[in-house]
Amino acid sequence: MKITILTQFPDMFGPVLSESILGRAADKGLVEFKVINIRDYSVDKHRKTDDTPFGGGFGMVMTPQPAFDALKAIGAEGKRIIYMSPRGKLLDKQLATELSREEEFFILCGHYEGVDQRIIDAWNMEEVSIGDYVLTGGELAAMVLADAAVRLIPGCLSDPEAPLQESVYSGLLEYDQYTKPREYEGLEVPEVLFNGNHRLIHLWQFENSLRLTKKRRPDLFEKFTETAEGLTKDEKKILDAVLLEY
């Protein structure tokens, strides 16, 4: 997969794309990141990329010329282009999964008050937001989107089942995790995790996930109870008990 990011702040991306799991995915050849500085395409003598908004208002708006020329120069015509914006549709697991299967896509990061609408319209961009809050720019959001998509590329994570078992991908929040030591400053790990009975351990984890999801994300919990299929007898019993609680 190839992901090309267009930004006025290319330096923000360095370590995020080269370290840890994203860096390893790039080393393995699963993904190629390219970061393009929009300023490099500005024909303005001060390399300006934004200007004041028509109609008045606060902030600066990205001008069409540098973005159009950058997009033409990198061959983005007819390609999937995402514009990171708090006005966009919310990033979720469906979109992350879909993007993880793309051969190539582009991400435009805006700043200040946004970009000239003609950039979005003429290049048929898809607006994507990462949540109901406003960031100072699209760069952090672009990194979130790239991370969420790349980790789902087959071969990126060591265990291919991992993404399916975790939190939102299974429909429930992930259960509590513990590691060594067994006792730390008088704090103990739940006894069930040591009894070697994988069925009991699984049921404890299932119950823990159910309770947590019901409390924190009633929306996900309701969806899970409506669509839950293929539960074992024991799992159903636990679900019924959790459903009956307060």
Q: Is 138 in the site for ligand 6GU (CB under 6 A)?
A: yes
CA distance 189 to 212: 18
Candidates 55-63, 96-104, 137-145, 216-224: pick the segment binding ligand 6GU (CB under 6 A). 137-145
Q: Is 135 in the site for ligand 6GU (CB under 6 A)?
A: yes
CB closer to ligand 6GU, 130 vs 146: 130
Candidates 15-23, 36-44, 129-137, 190-198: pick the segment binding ligand 6GU (CB under 6 A). 129-137
Q: How far is the CB of 166 from ligand 6GU (least distance, A)?
A: 22
Q: Is 130 in the site for ligand 6GU (CB under 6 A)?
A: yes
Q: How far is the CB of 131 from ligand 6GU (least distance, A)?
A: 5
How far CA 39 is from CA of 44, 46, 114, 164, in Å, comes to 9, 9, 16, 40
Candidates 84-92, 162-170, 194-202, 225-233: pick the segment binding ligand 6GU (CB under 6 A). 84-92
Q: Is 133 in the site for ligand 6GU (CB under 6 A)?
A: yes
Q: How far is the CB of 88 from ligand 6GU (least distance, A)?
A: 6
Q: Is 96 in the site for ligand 6GU (CB under 6 A)?
A: no
Q: Is 112 in the site for ligand 6GU (CB under 6 A)?
A: no
Q: Is 58 in the site for ligand 6GU (CB under 6 A)?
A: no
Residues engaged in binding ligand 6GU (CB under 6 A): 84-86, 88, 129-131, 133-135, 137-138, 141
